[in-house]
Chains A and B, each alone.
Chain A
């Protein structure tokens, strides 16, 4: 389906949204469309000549209020491979720290007429707020504990490439679900695509009402991992380790960390995933992270592809695609 000349522009249906603020609100066809587009972006990224020009002349601003090396790099690379002019605003060290509000920053950037704004912010809803104030498309690269849609998409792409499908799979999401936007986006996406989702972790790290989010809840890893097709480990933030939500790192690792013994309870071909950055020896044992079932590095590669796919989909001129 792909040609060397124009590898990504397949006969994809047009993407019906202006922004990507979350997985909530996306339909099965929306998600499948993005994953299909991403497949072709993988091919492009694996060529020697990686550069295309579909976003030539367009300006992409990465507005990161939280430090993030890998996500920012991934968005930057995705934009550059599509030919966009990419500007990084690391707000952690700029005037925004000195009292300028998110909306003031948004208005300032808007006046520079960007075509795409990528935002990461510590507050839930920040991407939606920004989207209401600017004239361009907005991609949420993580807003507080709310959503991180491109992470869920890249996870889905990784799973689909290994398992050939998403529907009917048992996916265990383990660890700090309470504070995790990755977990929320994944729960919504996997439910939409027909997977069975299990939330696994201590109750202090579970959001209220989790059982009503379309998951089965397990407080013991042994139970939650039994027969799973995929296990996604979540990062436990350092400040939450000692006494605040769990008593200690060693206790957490023993009961909730992924090691060989616990992984053995899952299906033999169970994928091991982690959104990164990992705390080795806290939520995941080093040998498992580097083991044969781990697809953690591949997730990073899929990240670039998924971000290329969504950017291109959002920037497609109306009427340019197949009906």
Chain B
């Protein structure tokens, strides 16, 4: 990662830093890629000679977003998304770090592949790309990967990607072994048998559309199993994408018992509900499925009260061939890196979440979960900063998305709030839609 040498000063920005519960107009001084000073009191210190000055007036400066769940097509499906195009999309969306999911082809289940991702990320030199490794070899759900070696190589978490480990004994062993290395196990839970051929949330709307439903219990049963195993093993467990009120309750109970458990939710399940599927719109075919509005409201309450720790983009590029199909036959997934912040700001503008909490859920919280030295504007921390005009109205034009795939659930959506500038390690990589320094 190239670190900007010298000094950069952001002036007159509204600084929102959940790590210090700071929300004030102030100045941020960046020296050699790290925050040197940040706050209202720095305003009187003057600007150091030779410093680059960014006028932050009218903008909100937040720690750069940290996305715990980005699917990339490289290696294996580069036509959907390369590591480079994902990095550009992240930069445009104000995401300064993302965790790359291991369900590529080949699967990231080996040290060489972790090194491949890190090497590619270094060559692109844009945002921080943090590989997640598979829990089991080939994501087959049976044999454990080399947890210790993968951690040493730079894997930040272990996950089965889109899949769920069905075998409880395999899960238990992975958690037991992982615990000894301090590994974080992130799991997206779906009971394959109970979900059956389901393609959307089970309920009246699915019945009217004639589509098979996925009951909410299909998410809950393996989640509750995992939480019991977390208690049994003492492993660090992250419920990667919960979507229902029942799952949020299960997480709250586990946290109440003092387990080392965290939870994430996809921005899609926060911003949308099953009615958005409308007349079989496949860009809204997602895992977990979009739920009933009651569940969405429960998820928002769980975001507000601290039960859920992170909002993820769940960026999942799918090309036209896999989406231009009848609903039941289309692939799941939507891209999200470039829209997660504006979609999240809807909650702020609606009064559902304070801005401070949204930033915590998209930056400080996820950074804490993976132990990343980001998600904070405190002096000494990495200068990963996103500047946002939270009042700018705009309409999403899919043609202008940086992602190679255009399967956005926010096609032509109206947003209020736009990312204006993205800074990684003190270096501006994106300003007003213009990409800088991309190799």
Contact residues of A with B, CB < 8 Å? Answer: 24, 101-103, 121, 123-126, 128-129, 143-147, 181, 184, 207-210, 212-213
Contact partners of B324 in chain A: CB under 8 A: 101, 103
Contact of B326 among A121, A147, A209 (CB under 8 A): A121
Pair count A-B, CB < 8 A: 70
Q: Is the CB of B325 within 8 A of A208?
A: no
Contact partners of B205 in chain A: CB under 8 A: 209
**In chain A, what residue has the closest Cβ to B280?**
A125
* Cα A121 to Cα B213 with chains together (Å): 19
A125 and B279 contact, Cβ closer than 8 Å, known pairs A102-B325, A212-B204: yes
Q: Is the CB of A184 within 8 A of B208?
A: yes
Q: Is the CB of B210 within 8 A of A146?
A: yes
* Cα A24 to Cα B280 with chains together (Å): 14
**In chain A, what residue has the closest Cβ to B205?**
A209
**Min CB–CB distance B274 → chain A (angstroms):** 12
Q: Contact mask B267-306 → A, CB, 8 Å, 1/0?
A: 0000000000001100000000000000000000000000
Q: Is the CB of B328 within 8 A of A124?
A: yes
* Cα A146 to Cα B327 with chains together (Å): 12
Q: Contact mask B203-231 → A, CB, 8 Å, 1/0?
A: 11111111111000000000000000000
Q: Is the CB of A125 within 8 A of B209?
A: yes
Q: Is the CB of A124 within 8 A of B326?
A: yes
Contact partners of B123 in chain A: CB under 8 A: none
Contact of A124 among B204, B280, B321 (CB under 8 A): B280
A123 and B208 contact, Cβ closer than 8 Å, known pairs A101-B324, A208-B213: no
Q: Apart from A124-B210, A143-B210, what are 15 other A-B pairs with CB-CB below 8 Å?
A: A24-B208, A101-B321, A124-B327, A125-B209, A125-B280, A128-B280, A129-B326, A144-B326, A145-B210, A145-B211, A146-B210, A184-B210, A207-B207, A208-B207, A209-B208
6 example contacts (A-B, Cβ-Cβ < 8 A) are as follows A103-B324, A124-B211, A125-B327, A184-B208, A209-B208, A213-B207
**In chain B, what residue has the closest Cβ to A206?**
B207
**In chain A, what residue has the closest Cβ to B320?**
A103
Q: Is the CB of A146 within 8 A of B209?
A: yes
**In chain A, what residue has the closest Cβ to B324?**
A103
Contact partners of B208 in chain A: CB under 8 A: 24, 184, 209, 213
Contact partners of A129 in chain B: CB under 8 A: 280, 326
Q: Flag whether B332 is at the interface (Cβ < 8 A).
A: no
A209 and B210 contact, Cβ closer than 8 Å, known pairs A121-B326, A123-B327: no
* Cα A101 to Cα B209 with chains together (Å): 21
Q: Is the CB of B207 within 8 A of A210?
A: yes
**In chain A, what residue has the closest Cβ to B204?**
A209
Contact of A102 among B202, B203, B279, B326 (CB under 8 A): B326
* Cα A108 to Cα B325 with chains together (Å): 16
**Min CB–CB distance A126 → chain B (angstroms):** 5
**Min CB–CB distance A269 → chain B (angstroms):** 32
Contact of A123 among B203, B206, B321, B329 (CB under 8 A): B329
Contact partners of B321 in chain A: CB under 8 A: 101
* Cα A101 to Cα B326 with chains together (Å): 9
**Min CB–CB distance A323 → chain B (angstroms):** 31
Q: Is the CB of B203 within 8 A of A209?
A: yes
**Min CB–CB distance A174 → chain B (angstroms):** 17
**Min CB–CB distance A19 → chain B (angstroms):** 12
**Min CB–CB distance A117 → chain B (angstroms):** 15
Contact partners of B207 in chain A: CB under 8 A: 184, 207-210, 213
Q: Is the CB of B206 within 8 A of A128?
A: no
Q: Is the CB of A208 within 8 A of B206?
A: yes
* Cα A217 to Cα B57 with chains together (Å): 62
Contact partners of A213 in chain B: CB under 8 A: 204, 207-208
Contact partners of B329 in chain A: CB under 8 A: 123
* Cα A96 to Cα B184 with chains together (Å): 45
10 closest residue pairs by CB, A with B: A146-B210, A209-B204, A123-B326, A125-B280, A207-B207, A124-B210, A145-B210, A126-B326, A125-B327, A123-B328
* Cα A207 to Cα B207 with chains together (Å): 6
**In chain A, what residue has the closest Cβ to B281?**
A125
Interface-central residue, A124, A128, A143, by most chain B CB under 10 Å: A124
Q: Contact mask B313-325 → A, CB, 8 Å, 1/0?
A: 0000000010011
Contact partners of B325 in chain A: CB under 8 A: 101-103, 123
* Cα A102 to Cα B326 with chains together (Å): 8
Interface-central residue, B208, B210, B212, by most chain A CB under 10 Å: B210
* Cα A111 to Cα B212 with chains together (Å): 33
* Cα A238 to Cα B18 with chains together (Å): 59
* Cα A121 to Cα B326 with chains together (Å): 9
**Min CB–CB distance A167 → chain B (angstroms):** 23
Contact partners of A145 in chain B: CB under 8 A: 210-212
* Cα A207 to Cα B91 with chains together (Å): 45
A128 and B279 contact, Cβ closer than 8 Å, known pairs A102-B326, A123-B329, A208-B206: yes
Give residues 323-359 of B contacting A (CB, 8 Å). Answer: 324-329
